[in-house]
Amino acid sequence: MKALFLPFFTCLILPAAGQDDSAVRGVNPADNLTKFEILPKFTMIDGGSDTSIFTSTFKYDRAIQGVYGLNFDLPFAAFESPLGDESGIGDFNLRARYQHRDGRFTYIAGLEAVFPSASHDTLGSGKYQVNPVFAGVYAFSAQTFLAVSAKHLFSVGGESDRDDIIQGQYRVILAHTTPDGWWFLADPQILVDYQNDGRLHFAPEIEVGRMISANTGVWLRGGGHLGGDWQKDDWTVSVGIRFISF
């Protein structure tokens, strides 16, 4: 894992060409861009039993006429536990979105479809899902924004012996960018499992990133369980690299 994360950390601290605020793109959900991202992530599911999963997700976004968008991603995953290890592909995700800008506000509506393509039970949900997403973004300035989103996850079929999914994910993102291409982001998240008596998982995350060229950004993100009666996982750490097509 260190061999994968070290190059991204090195990119964060290397000098970059002169930037202005307009060059920090792809951080704000209102930035409807065509881009490709590589997203390695390590999740410690249960530190007590040394159960974890490492995913490396490849994601492509396509902007359409500035207000529509399509994206899809496919993770490759490795699950480790005392009972055994498994690796392969995870569930395939396909999303569509529409956004409307009104002054400082941007409103976003989207729909996510999840296909249970995982190689093993530990790498996916085993369920088809149709998940609506709604978000609002307010720009305090060209450098600072606040985004609020609600995503509801519904399983609509799949393996009958796997748990049905009725969940809600609620996020508040506050971010600031700098003239030399850095960004700093706070992302507290609440996940509610309505299928199981509304149990709650509260897991704030923070992210630090920078543009290393006009169309390439890298970042480091981490967070973990901080409250609630559902400890979905203990903690996560991830990195990312984004290639933007202008």
Instruction: Answer whether residue 23 shows pLDDT above 80.
Output: no
Strands 216-224 and 205-213: antiparallel
The answer on pLDDT for 11 being more than 70 is no
Query: In 3D, which of 121, 113, 123, 69 has the Cα closest to residue 93?
Result: 113
pTM assigned to the model: 0.90
Q: In this prediction, what percent of the chain has a pLDDT beyond 70?
A: 90
Q: Is the pLDDT of residue 63 over 90?
A: yes
Does residue 13 have a pLDDT over 70?
Answer: no
What pLDDT score was predicted for residue 245? 87
2-245 maps to which CATH number? Answer: 2.40.128.130
Q: DSSP secondary-structure letter at 13? A: H
The amino acid occupying position 163 is D
What lies within 8 Å, CB to CB, of 90 at 6+ separation is 55, 57, 74, 75, 76, 77, 117, 118, 123, 124
